[in-house]
Chain A
Amino acid sequence: AQRVTQPEKLLSVFKGAPVELKCNYSYSGSPELFWYVQYSRQRLQLLLRHISRESIKGFTADLNKGETSFHLKKPFAQEEDSAMYYCALTNTGGFKTIFGAGTRLFVKA
């Protein structure tokens, strides 16, 4: 069965501090992993996807198949990063996408 686990419901850091949002998954095939973000009063939107290996707004995430993890990292948090972050997994073939419970990131001035 597919499962995505985000162990932290809330993460609070100071501006300029490093931040890491954890995501672990369970899936027997070859998954696609994504991070989505929801800013206040906005739609849920894609932040980044593992196959692109890109850095978006200073965030990066590496897929670790051995540890079945896809943690989101940023070296220096900004106040505008405060939002709800969801880790998502799409199954092989791309039909079904499930999400974790989400982590609310709060960056303090």
Chain B
Amino acid sequence: DVKVTQSSRYLVKRTGEKVFLECVQDMDHENMFWYRQDPGLGLRLIYFSYDVKMKEKGDIPEGYSVSREKKERFSLILESASTNQTSMYLCASRFTGTGGEAFFGQGTRLTVV
């Protein structure tokens, strides 16, 4: 019963390439998030969106941008991939309001060579 789907499980890209990571949720959630997960650093918030076409920077937005043209889809864009962006990327969504849990995608392991 998959609710949050990330388009790729593994990606290998070259330095300087423009990279798109896609995320789709089927729960009609207002809020969507992109995190990167690194050992010892946990999940760090890159960007989040609380409505269509609305976005906010998280704690580590440098080198990334996002797009939310439809409520169910939230895209993460690496404008010019660099090796320090090699990581696991997690997408999540949740309802606004008290107590709502975040649902996560399966993750995209991105390697930049």
Contact = CB atoms under 8 A, between A and B. Distances in A.
B31 interface: yes
Interface residues of A, number: 24
A99 interface: yes
B40 A96 contact: no
A50 to B, nearest CB: 9
Contact of B43 (A46, A86, A94): A86
A44 B41 CA distance: 15
Interface residues of B, number: 29
Given A34-B101, A46-B102, A51-B98, A95 B42 contact: no
Contacts of A93: 96
A99 B95 contact: no
Contact of A94 (B41, B58, B98): B98
Interface string B40-69: 111111001010000010110000000000
- Enumerate the 5 nearest inter-chain pairs by beta-carbon distance, A residue then B residue, closest first: A101-B42, A99-B43, A46-B101, A44-B104, A102-B42
Interface of A: 6, 9, 32, 34, 36, 43-46, 49, 51-52, 86, 88, 93-102
Interface of B: 31, 33, 35, 40-45, 48, 50, 56, 58-59, 90, 92, 94-102, 104-107
25 contacts: A9-B40, A34-B101, A36-B102, A43-B104, A43-B105, A43-B106, A44-B104, A46-B101, A46-B102, A51-B98, A51-B99, A94-B31, A94-B96, A95-B48, A95-B56, A95-B96, A97-B48, A98-B43, A98-B45, A98-B59, A99-B42, A99-B45, A101-B40, A101-B42, A102-B43
Given A34-B102, A96-B45, 15 more contacts: A32-B99, A43-B107, A44-B90, A44-B104, A45-B104, A49-B101, A51-B99, A52-B99, A94-B31, A94-B95, A94-B100, A97-B48, A98-B43, A101-B42, A102-B42
